């Protein structure tokens, strides 16, 4: 009996130690070359800021200037309510005293300058596809925006979701930290679209079904699912008959610019701000995104909830 307890105790200790080791947020920075990067291209940073929809979450709510990144927007989820932080260049309340490496590590590995894991409510799960050079451009652009005073409220998460360290376990299971690798067998346009849709555009973060731990289920990526914020249903955008099989490439590009679908409905809900952002890209970039989306294999989405009668 004593032995059994001892063995159990050892197993538990080993488990805890394993948890501790494997959830260690210390990162191998993806950006050893940071010191050697050329001067940042602020225009490219501005484009990535629009493609990434950063202001949809980080702009101070209740005012019209989408470039005031004071944070505070509440983001409800099945795990509790997150609040987007202040990412304006304010030195005390925002990210004004961050270095380029801090920013690159946050966006590409989901680890903060003080060495803590970020929750995937911040879609670094997609943004990590942006290479260090692109992230440095984005950082340079954000530094040109107004500095906003005031910290956003903390997250409102029940136990055990309030343990940041546990996010390390989540990452171990679900986070792929590799940057975007172009597919040499595909066209340049397709690769540009694949990068914009999967990286900064983070389209799959909404257009996918998630498992019980809030991670995207790879087999039904892009095939739609319940809205992550619990409001309605996000449509399938693969080439399935319930998805975009009947949309032409230029119809997809047109919707991303004007919001009008081929049947002249106008997309609403959380897609409306996405369109406002993607409309700031060039026609060529929107066509590239459409080229990639037209190449997504047809996948049936999860069943839609029954309509209330």
Partner 1 sequence: MIRTVVVAAGLILGLSAVVAQSDPIAQRRDAMKAVGAATREGAAIAKGEAAFDSAKVQMIFKVYADAAKRLPALYPETAKSGGETTAGPKIWEDQGGFKTALAKFETEAVAGGAAAKDLDSFRSAFGAATKNCGSCHEVYRIKK
- Asked whether position 282 contacts ligand HEC by CB under 6 A, the answer is no
How far does CA 86 lie from the centroid of its chain? 17
123's contact among ligand HEC, partner 1, none, with CB below 5 to 8 A by partner kind, is: ligand HEC
Quick note: the x/- pattern for ligand HEC over 57-86, rule CB under 6 A, is: xx----------------x------x-xx-
Q: How far is the CB of 176 from partner 1 (least distance, A)?
A: 29
- Asked whether position 108 contacts ligand HEC by CB under 6 A, the answer is no
Determine the length of the chain.
309
308's contact among partner 1, ligand HEC, none, with CB below 5 to 8 A by partner kind, is: partner 1
- Asked whether position 248 contacts partner 1 by CB under 8 A, the answer is no
Closest by CA position to 40, among listed 181, 192, 142, 148: 142
Residue 127 and residue 52 in contact, taking contact as beta carbons nearer than 8 Å: yes
Angle between helices 249-258 and 283-294 (to 10 degrees): 130
Measured between alpha carbons, how far is 198 from 179 in angstroms, rounded to an integer? 11
- Asked whether position 45 contacts ligand HEC by CB under 6 A, the answer is no
Closest by CA position to 9, among listed 35, 1, 193, 125: 1
- Asked whether position 27 contacts partner 1 by CB under 8 A, the answer is no
How far does CA 29 lie from the centroid of its chain? 19
Q: Which is nearer to ligand HEC, 16 or 92 (CB)?
A: 92
Q: Classify residue 230 as left (phi > 0), alpha (psi -120 to 50) or beta.
A: left
Quote the DSSP letter at residue 260: B
305's contact among ligand HEC, partner 1, none, with CB below 5 to 8 A by partner kind, is: partner 1
- Asked whether position 114 contacts partner 1 by CB under 8 A, the answer is no
Binding site for ligand HEC (CB under 6 A): 52-54, 56-58, 75, 82, 84-85, 87, 95, 106, 112, 118-119, 121-123, 127, 138, 197, 201-203, 205-207, 227, 234-235, 237, 244, 252, 255, 261, 264-271, 274, 278, 289, 293
């Amino acid at each position: 009996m004593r032995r059994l307890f001892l063995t159990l105790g050892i197993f538990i200790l080993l488990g805890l130690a394993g948890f501790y080791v494997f959830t260690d947020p210390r990162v191998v920075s993806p950006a050893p070359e940071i010191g050697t990067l050329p001067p940042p291209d602020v225009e490219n940073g501005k484009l990535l800021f629009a493609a990434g929809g950063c202001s949809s979450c980080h702009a101070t709510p209740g005012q019209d200037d989408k470039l005031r990144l004071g944070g505070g927007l509440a983001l409800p989820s099945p795990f509790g309510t997150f609040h987007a932080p202040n990412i304006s260049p304010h030195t005390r309340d925002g990210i004004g005293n961050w270095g380029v490496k801090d920013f690159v590590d946050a966006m590409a590995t989901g680890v903060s300058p003080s060495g803590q894991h970020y929750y995937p409510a911040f879609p670094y799960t997609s943004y990590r596809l942006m290479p260090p050079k692109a992230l440095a451009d984005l950082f340079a652009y954000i530094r040109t925006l107004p500095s906003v005073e005031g910290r956003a409220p903390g997250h409102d998460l029940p136990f055990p979701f309030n343990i940041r360290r546990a996010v390390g376990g989540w990452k171990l299971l679900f986070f792929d930290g590799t940057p975007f690798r172009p597919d040499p067998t595909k066209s340049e346009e397709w690769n540009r679209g694949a990068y914009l849709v999967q990286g900064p555009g983070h389209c799959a973060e909404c257009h996918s079904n998630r498992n019980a731990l809030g991670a995207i289920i790879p087999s039904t990526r892009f095939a739609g699912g319940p809205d992550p914020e619990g409001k309605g249903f996000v449509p399938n955008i693969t080439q399935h008959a319930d998805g975009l099989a009947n949309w032409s490439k230029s119809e997809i590009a047109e919707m991303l610019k004007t919001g009008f679908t081929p049947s002249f409905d106008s997309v609403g809900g959380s897609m409306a701000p996405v369109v406002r952002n993607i409309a700031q890209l060039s026609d060529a970039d929107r066509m590239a995104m459409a080229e990639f989306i037209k190449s997504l294999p047809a996948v049936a989405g999860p069943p839609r909830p029954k309509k209330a009668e």
